Amino acid sequence: MADAIDLATLLASFAEPWRPRTVAALNDYDIRVVKTRGEFTEHAHPETDEMFLVLSGRLVIRLDDDEVALGPGQLFVVPRGRRHQPVSPDGAEVLLVEPRTTVNTGDTPSPLTTDPIRLT
């Protein structure tokens, strides 16, 4: 029998921001968790949408002409190809759903570009 994934315990096991962990797979998609703090690289994903679900804290998604503020339990999908920049001055814990091959900084390599740590 499979075990349930305890996201709170998993998120408590690491501190570094902007380093996603893949906690499960759904068809060709990864379910990832990430801690955020400060500003992330402004980028776009030309091939895919990107889903953010805030588990705790506050996250702002800056867009070219707007921004979306998210709190716990709130979700936002950035449409494919749309430039965006996640920002979280005080930190947040976020669940992401994206294709397995998605690079976290999309079309804009930066010092924050990293492969997700695979826990599955």
In the chain (120 residues long), the average pLDDT of successive 10-residue segments reads: 87 95 95 97 95 98 96 98 97 96 92 87
Distance CA 60, CA 89 (A): 9
The pLDDT assigned to 1 comes to 52
pLDDT at residue 14, as a whole number? 94
pLDDT at 81: 96
> Domain spanning 7-118: which CATH class is it, in words?
mainly beta
What pLDDT is attached to residue 3?
Answer: 86
The pLDDT value recorded for residue 24 is: 95
Token reading at 61: 């998604």
User: What pLDDT score does 2 carry?
Assistant: 74
Query: Virtual CA dihedral for 9, 43, 112, 25, nearest 10 degrees?
Result: 40
pTM (predicted TM-score): 0.93
The string of DSSP codes covering 84-108 is EEEEEEEEEEEEEEEETT--TTTT-
Q: What are phi and psi of 84, to 5 degrees?
A: -155, 160
The amino acid sitting at 63 is: L
How many helices (H) and strands (E) in the chain?
Answer: 1, 8
